[in-house]
Amino acid sequence: MIIYRAKDYNDLSRKAANIISAQVIMKPNCVLGLATGSSPEGMYAQLVDWYNKGDLDFAKVKSVNLDEYRGLSRENEQSYYYFMHKHLFDKVNIDMNNTYLPNGLAEDPEEECRRYDALIESLGGVDLQLLGMGHNGHIGFNEPGDHYDKGTHCVDLQQSTIEANKRFFASEDEVPRQAYTMGIGTIMKAKKILVIVSGAEKAEILKEALYGPITPQVPASVLQMHSDVIVIADEAALSAIK
Ligand code: F6R
């Protein structure tokens, strides 16, 4: 595991964008596993900037997102489909037919999970998986629990996640209670993993994830078992680690 210390959020965003760019330059038809949330917003803005300057070409890139709220349509501004289009897909030359997210409106959740796993498999797996980390140590929406789920599944969001994500919604009541997420097994199968973590409020959980016991109670701790992980965290997020 390589841990990069970024000065602040801007530095973190640029460092993370550099890793994604390197991947795209080295393998133009790579499969990127993408994440949403506050952590990668600056990174996506940096990638768009480099694309506009002619330094990056997404024409052959394929992407699979980690997760999507269950019950939100693509048009809903809080859906991850909407997020990805707003922050990246609509601003670069990626082929929309090569971008994939779970379908939040799928009628049969089990069938949707099977479809998504088969899709990832058919793409040959993920070359570089981007992850943020929840305040409770979740990755994707793999919440703390007593076991690791292997494949895509539909989860009940924990109260702490609903609290953390309500900032994006008009009220807490509007936060969906369920989401689709790639499983820990799929995340761990990615050839390379990039984790970005910002802010003092994540300092304790980041320390637990990187140096504590490997346990499904802290889902991100499983990353200690992966052979190719890069963590980029700002000084605030690294403040609990000596
Ligand atoms: C988002 C995702 C989540 C977030 C995590 C951190 O696609 O999978 O695991 O990465 O909740 O969210 P932020 O970055 O908003 O703190």
Q: What is the pLDDT of residues 128-186, one digit of tens each?
A: 999 999 999 999 999 999 999 999 999 999 898 999 899 989 999 999 999 999 999 99
Q: Which pair of structure tokens corresponds to residue 76?
A: 């809903």
Look at residue 190 and give its three-state secondary structure.
Answer: coil
Tell me if residue 138 is catalytic.
Answer: yes
Tell me if residue 108 is catalytic.
Answer: no
Lowest mean pLDDT among 106-115, 164-173, 209-218: 164-173
Rounded to two decimals, the pTM is 0.97
- Ligand 1 atom nearest the C-alpha of 202 is 16
Residue count of the chain: 242
Lowest mean pLDDT among 86-95, 98-107, 132-141, 167-176: 167-176
Helices (H), the chain: 9-26, 41-52, 80-87, 109-122, 159-165, 184-189, 203-211
What are the φ and ψ backbone dihedral angles of 167, each rounded to 5 degrees?
A: -60, -20
Look at residue 65 and give its three-state secondary structure.
Answer: strand
Give the pLDDT score at 242: 85
User: Which residue is listed with tokens 């479809």?
Assistant: 115
Q: Which residues line ligand 1 (CB under 6 A)?
A: 35-39, 66-67, 132-134, 138-140
Mean pLDDT, the chain, as a whole number? Answer: 97
- Ligand 1 atom nearest the C-alpha of 199 is 16
- The answer, yes or no, to whether residue 5 has pLDDT greater than 90, is yes
Q: Pairing state of beta strands 128-131 and 192-197? A: parallel
DSSP 144: S
Contacts of 173 by beta carbon, 8 Å cutoff, 6+ apart: none
Mean pLDDT of 208-213: 98
List Cα–Cα distances, 204 to 81, 86, 159, in angstroms: 31, 31, 19
Tell me if residue 226 is catalytic.
Answer: no
- The answer, yes or no, to whether residue 80 has pLDDT greater than 90, is yes
